[in-house]
Each structure stands twice: as structure tokens, then as C-alpha cells.
A and B are shown apart, each in its own frame.
Chain A
């Protein structure tokens, strides 16, 4: 059992971190070039050189181009209309058309933004050339060059964002499930009766249940951090002690929930279902996959009592942003309240004498 406890989360961390990759790469691009000019070829070359697109074919007309989208061979079609070069050279507006397969709206959105980048690079280059060629001193119209710089995750690597979150989830699930079926098991085995007839205090009992799982949680967390660092190059930017202090409190809160579930349910099935119920809600609202700010108001209210949300936030801000204790004061405070609250509830609901 013990090797399983450590082995499984590590495998999950590695597999999920690679799999939960929202980055869009290798978009299949189809071309319909009516212009067949130097400019159109240059634009197409810009597209293929960007690294985001794989050329799947050039087609003579739009119908053939859209056909490959329908067949899911291409994700998008670039259409360069006739007279594109002429329009450009006359300094009039040249237009190109892009058609996207938007069944996966997220992917289409990302593809569209890649295209914008490529086209604006093409534009800038063209305008710069014009400015150089121009004999008059008419100021070039390109003056604003927007350069983006992404903080805390410079390469916009999805793994950087996901690994801390996934680790948070794995540690949570492991400890929540272990603790929620624990007392149930004693109920089913009958050992709980032998314990209940001893003068053991409720506090001792709950502590006795929490401490082993707490240690397991801390060890798995440490393993996970080492893996994140070795395999994904994601170290802890902030203070590792701050991170572990939070985890220490967080685990007590999660274990409190597990023990609480364990005291109010009678069978392992019930405990598993109840734990699943809460874990799925907490998980999907946690901001692991979707931004917390874009969920509806009522769900955000629900999130105030979602320990996983706080944990995912803390993991990401300490690991990636290097946030310090003072930045996370409220998180620490809330989690301490959770830890005390859930465990007091667990202590209350655990009865040594049946009423």
C-alpha cells in the first residue's frame, strides 16, 4: 500500500502534466492563392516559417480549400485574393481571408491569434520597406510596435501553469480519499467499537487519524516538487518554507473534510460518493483548468469555501510568481479557519456513545 501511495501520484503528475497541454501547435494550413505573386508567396512563406502551421496543400479555388476543412484535413484556409500584390503596391488596403474550423472554439481562437501575429509581422515588414524606398520624407505610418512580454511564464508554456496545479490536485485527492474511507474501514471491521470503549479522547482520536495522512501528504508533495523541478524545470520561485507552511495547514483542512465525511457515512461506497461529489465540484471550480474570474457570480460565491481554489492559487503564485507570505496573508488566514473548522466539525460528529 505504501509504495502505491507514493508511486501513483508521481505517475499521474508526469502523465497529466504532459497530457493537459492546451498549447496549440501544428495547425494544418491549406492555401488558396489566386494572386500567385511575390507578395502572396512571401506571406505564405511567413506563415509556414512561423512554426505554428503545417502546410497540408495548395488549392486552386475556395471550394477545394473549404473541402479539406470539412474533411478535417486542414484546420484553417488562407485565401489570397487576386490583385493582392497590386493593391499592396498602390498602398491601398490588401485583404486576405482566413477560414477556420471552429468546432473546437478554443483551438480556432488560438489559431486566429497566431494568424494575426504573422500578418502583422508581414505588414510591418512591408511598411518598413516602403518607408525605405520612399524618396520623400513622408513619415512611415508604422510607429507603434507592440511587443509582448509574458511575465512569470515567459515562453507561455502550458506546463509551467499546469504542473503546480496538477500537483495540488493530486495531493488533495490522495489525502481526501485516504482519510474519508479510514474511519469507515474501522466501522466495517468492528475495530471502532473497541476504540470507542476505551477512554481515548475525541481530540486524540482525530489527531491519530490525521497525523499519518498528513505525513504522507507532505512527503508526496515534496516528491512532486522534486519531479516538477527535475522533469519540467519548474522550481519554486518563492520561499519554499512559505509553500510548505501553507501545505501543512491545507492538508489539515482537507483531512478534516475527509474525516468528517468518514464519521457521517456508514459504508465505503457512501464515503467515496460523498467525497467524489465534493472533490469534483471543488476541482472544476478551482481554477485549475478555467480562469476563476470568468465563472458566474454564484459559483464564485461557492468558491469562497473551496479549499482547492486557495491551494491552486497559492501553489501557482509561490512557485511561479515568487509571492511571499505577506502577499498571501488572506489565503493563510482562510485556510487556518478551514483547518480548525472542518476538524472541529469532525470532532463534533464523531460520537463515542451512540445517541
Chain B
């Protein structure tokens, strides 16, 4: 079987009425890569990500994720990806264990297997004591780690993270990125959106979206030298300047 890229987008476009949220973007993400998807609010990041996850049908253009066309086989795509949305989306009135049993069941995992993996994950997160706690009672940082673990539960090839570290302190963010690295080491492809430019530095490659199009795509080092900037933050400022902010 020919090795396919983890994600490949080809003129992927999405319109809402006359508004073009994502305008003919094309890019490829290699397997095992940490791909940073940057852009200001309203630049079209989430729209693009939702299309790649099979949550939103493209208006035109195409994309394959894990080798499946997102428009034709969204359900096939979903079997191979994990997704952590911007909005925290575990069931708040279920316990950690119940949430994992439920989602694991949806992916067709057996109860024993789920509990084994969950136990393992909680140990690494140092959250074993939270097993039977209602998710609604946990602090935000823990919830986000759990969301990430949940997205990893069925051992997907690709994981989509939509602003996974929004609203948490720098230490928790740093720890969260340790989890991402760990997953990447295991060969999982990471597709992550973020507003934090320091996080962009952790990525293998980043793309910067401005007004629905990808303005730049390269490794952080190359981008810094290209735009003669000290930091990714400066690169971003340079590119995003003059765009509408919502």
C-alpha cells in the first residue's frame, strides 16, 4: 500500500452564504508531524478543522484524512481520528470513568480494554484519584488533559486539537504539550490550532491563516528567518497586520 500523507487538503473551500470562511487552502501534513494551525480569530481555522474532521461538508475542493476523502467518506475518517474541540465536551454530569466507558463503547472498544487504557492514562496524568469524580467538579486544566486522553482513547492515527490550552496557566500548558510530544513520539499525527505563539515554536511546521487563506507555511525556524523576526509572535504580527479582528 502506498504511503499516504496523514492529511492532504486541495483547494479546500467553505462558504457560508456569500462569506468565504476558508478559501481554497492546500497543504499536506506528514505522518507523525506536529502541525500548528495558526490564525487570528475568524481567520477560518476552526472551519477548516471541522471540514477535516468530517463535521462540515466542504463547498468545493477536497481533502483526505488518513487516506479517506472527507466529503465522500466522513464516517471512515472519523474512525481514524481523535478530536478535541474548543468547547469542553465531556459529559459534566458523568464521572470520568463513565465518560470513558461511554466513548470507548462508541468506538467499539471492550470494557476491559477501556478501563486498562484509562487507568494507564490516569496514572501518567497523576489523576488516578479522579476516576469516580463527576467531570463537572474538576478544574479546567484537568478537564483538558482528560479531553485529550479521551480523544486518544481509541488510539487514532491523527488527532485534531482545537485550541486545547485556552484559558489555562503556563505550567499546565507546558505539561499539556508534554502530552502532545509523547503522542507524537508514538507516531500520532498532531493537528493543533492555537493562539499562543510560544506553542507555535513547539510545532514541526506551522501554517498561518489570514482571512481564509494560508499566508505562510513552514517550520518555525524557516518562518523566523524568512520574515527576519526574533519570535513566531513577530512573524504572526507581521502577517496578521491589517486584517479584521472580530
Q: Does B55 contact A (CB under 8 A)?
A: yes
Q: A352-B74, A354-B56, A355-B57 are in contact. Are A200 and B106 (CB under 8 A)?
A: yes
Distance between A46 CB and nearest chain B CB, rounded to angstroms: 66
Find B55's partner among A191, A196, A201, A204 (CB 8 Å cutoff).
Answer: A196
Interface contacts (Cβ under 8 Å), in number, total 55
Give the interface SS of chain B, mostly helix, strand, loop or mixed: loop
Instruction: Verify B75–A199 contact, CB threshold 8 A.
Output: yes
Q: A198-B78, A199-B78 are in contact. Are A353 and B87 (CB under 8 A)?
A: no
Name the residue on A nearest B103 (C-beta): A198
Instruction: Verify A197–B55 contact, CB threshold 8 A.
Output: yes
Q: A199-B75, A199-B79 are in contact. Are A189 and B107 (CB under 8 A)?
A: no
Distance between A161 CB and nearest chain B CB, rounded to angstroms: 41
How many Å lie between the Cα of A283 and that of B68 in the bound state? 49
Instruction: Verify B75–A352 contact, CB threshold 8 A.
Output: yes
Q: Does B91 contact A (CB under 8 A)?
A: yes
Q: Does A8 contact B (CB under 8 A)?
A: no
Distance between A323 CB and nearest chain B CB, rounded to angstroms: 42
Distance between A193 CB and nearest chain B CB, rounded to angstroms: 5
> Which has the most chain B C-beta neighbours within 10 Å: A191, A195, A201?
A191
Give residues of chain A (182-199) contacting chain B, Cβ–Cβ below 8 Å.
189-191, 193-199
Instruction: Verify B56–A194 contact, CB threshold 8 A.
Output: no
Find A194's partner among B74, B75, B83 (CB 8 Å cutoff).
Answer: B83
Q: A199-B75, A199-B78, A199-B79 are in contact. Are A193 and B107 (CB under 8 A)?
A: no
- Contacts of B54 on A, CB cut-off 8 Å? 197, 352-353
Distance between A189 CB and nearest chain B CB, rounded to angstroms: 7
Instruction: Verify B89–A191 contact, CB threshold 8 A.
Output: yes
- Contacts of B88 on A, CB cut-off 8 Å? 190
Instruction: Verify A191–B107 contact, CB threshold 8 A.
Output: no
Distance between A209 CB and nearest chain B CB, rounded to angstroms: 13
Instruction: Verify B57–A353 contact, CB threshold 8 A.
Output: yes
Q: Does B53 contact A (CB under 8 A)?
A: yes
Instruction: Verify A191–B90 contact, CB threshold 8 A.
Output: yes
How many Å lie between the Cα of A189 and that of B87 in the bound state? 8
Q: Does B92 contact A (CB under 8 A)?
A: yes
Name the residue on A nearest B84 (C-beta): A194
Instruction: Verify A190–B53 contact, CB threshold 8 A.
Output: no
- Contacts of A197 on B, CB cut-off 8 Å? 53-55, 78, 81, 83, 85
Contact with A along B75-103 (1 / 0, CB 8 A): 10011010101011111100000000001
Q: A199-B78, A353-B56 are in contact. Are A194 and B107 (CB under 8 A)?
A: no
7 smallest beta-carbon distances between A and B, as pairs: A190-B87, A194-B89, A197-B83, A199-B79, A199-B78, A190-B89, A198-B106
Q: Could you list some 12 contacts between A and B, CB below 8 A? A: A189-B92, A191-B89, A193-B89, A194-B90, A195-B106, A197-B54, A197-B78, A197-B85, A199-B79, A204-B106, A353-B56, A353-B74
